[in-house]
């Protein structure tokens, strides 16, 4: 099938199998933390990849919600990883209503097609197959080769090409912003209609570290204007 040599759970809409496996996932997380408490720090990596997440959420409800929270918040420390394929990043669709901050726990977010075009129109303007990779280090376009072989012809897929990362001073690091970045943020605050627009212009993406960096600069500026900035006494 589409998953190659991976073990497939719940094929053919067998949601009960998926539910049972998610219970195993929860137990495995607890077992590994027990091992970690006893001093173990080397764990065999295990990645669970999911497809058709809205259908799983609709069928299993709270069981999905609980495992999601556990693995996303705690799994990485004990070698447990989660990959999600979905057509929507709304927290309700993903089964984590009220937990939008959990989306920031993903190390990488690959956006394709219309979503990539709507979020980053400038980056994908000349791309036949819009694709953008977002990580804590910034945002960059990626080229995904598309090959259309004849029916019955073996296919050979070229490696994914990732465009070079932006310069280091374009990364959103709230604790280490350059003076140039601070001045740019303050200048754009007078021109652009929203904080999200400033984040996108300065760092190339919105949310996460970009949000915190811009908010810190704007909050500091507001405090100084209101006379609440740092003071010194003779």
pLDDT digits (tens, 9 = 90+) for 148-194: 655 655 555 445 444 444 443 344 555 566 788 888 899 999 988 88
Model pTM above 0.85: no
How many whole angstroms from its chain centre is CA 192?
25
pLDDT in tens, 44-100: 898 888 877 778 877 887 667 778 778 878 888 899 988 887 766 665 556 555 555
- Rounded (to 5) percent helix, strand, coil in the chain: 45, 10, 45
Residues forming a β-bridge with 47: 81
pLDDT in tens, 127-146: 888 999 887 777 888 887 76
CA distances 26 to 20, 22, 35, 74, 78, Å, are 10, 6, 15, 11, 13
Exposure on the CB side of residue 84, measured as CA atoms within 13 A: 26
């Amino acid at each position: 099938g589409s998953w190659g040599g991976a073990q497939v759970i719940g094929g053919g809409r067998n949601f009960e199998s998926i539910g049972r496996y998610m219970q195993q996932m929860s137990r495995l997380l607890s077992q590994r933390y027990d091992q970690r408490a006893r001093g173990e720090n080397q764990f065999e990596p295990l990645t669970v990849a999911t497809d058709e997440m809205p259908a799983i959420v609709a069928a299993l409800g709270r069981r999905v919600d609980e495992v999601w929270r556990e693995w996303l918040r705690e799994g990485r420390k004990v070698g447990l990883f989660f990959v999600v394929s979905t057509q929507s990043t709304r927290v309700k669709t993903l089964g984590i209503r009220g937990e939008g901050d959990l989306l920031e726990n993903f190390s990488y977010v690959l956006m394709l097609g219309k979503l990539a075009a709507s979020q980053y129109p400038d980056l994908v303007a000349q791309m036949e197959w819009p694709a953008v990779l977002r990580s804590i280090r910034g945002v960059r376009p990626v080229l995904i080769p598309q090959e259309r072989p004849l029916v019955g012809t073996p296919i050979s897929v070229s490696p994914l090409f990732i465009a070079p990362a932006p310069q280091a001073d374009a990364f959103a690091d709230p604790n280490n912003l350059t003076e140039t970045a601070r001045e740019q943020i303050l200048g754009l605050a007078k021109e652009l209609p929203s904080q999200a627009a400033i984040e996108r212009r300065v760092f190339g993406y919105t949310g996460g570290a970009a949000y915190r960096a811009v908010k810190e600069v704007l909050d500091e500026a507001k405090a100084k204007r209101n006379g609440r900035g740092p003071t010194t006494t003779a």
